[in-house]
């Protein structure tokens, strides 16, 4: 089974990112054993943001192996992200 990863693209100055943070933290606590969580500051890592074609933040990308399963742009509630994690195999 492919490794499931959640990548959280954000920036310190991003207000909506701060709204998204507690949702991601909850998911990280619940899925720590089955999902790898990566936190990418788009200002510090513009190459990775470009690789994933991040044009707006917050953006959350769920991957399984090298395949992007789901992408969420803007503040997203827990349920759709959790569904994407589960469909990815978490």
Say if residue 2's pLDDT is above 90.
Answer: no
Among 14, 24, 27, 57, the active-site one is 14
**What is residue 4's predicted lDDT score, i.e. its pLDDT?**
97
| pLDDT (tens digit per residue) in 38-65 | 999 999 999 999 999 999 999 999 999 9
pTM of this prediction? Answer: 0.95
What is residue 21's three-state secondary structure? Answer: helix
Q: Is 50 a catalytic residue?
A: no
Q: Is 14 a catalytic residue?
A: yes
Q: How many residues in the chain? A: 90
CB distance 56 to 74 below 8 Å: yes
CB distance 39 to 8 below 8 Å: yes
| Domains of the chain in sequence order | 4-88 (3.40.30.10)
Among 17, 35, 40, 90, the active-site one is 17
Average pLDDT along the chain: 96
**What is residue 1's predicted lDDT score, i.e. its pLDDT?**
64
């Amino acid at each position: 089974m492919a490794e499931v990863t959640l990548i959280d693209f954000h920036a310190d100055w991003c207000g909506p990112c701060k709204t998204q943070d507690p949702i991601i933290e909850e998911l990280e606590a619940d899925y720590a054993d089955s999902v790898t969580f990566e936190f990418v500051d788009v200002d510090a890592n513009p190459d990775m943001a470009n690789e994933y074609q991040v044009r707006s933040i917050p953006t959350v990308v769920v991957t399984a192996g090298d395949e992007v399963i789901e992408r969420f742009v803007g503040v997203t509630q827990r349920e759709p992200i959790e569904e994407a994690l589960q469909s990815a195999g978490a």
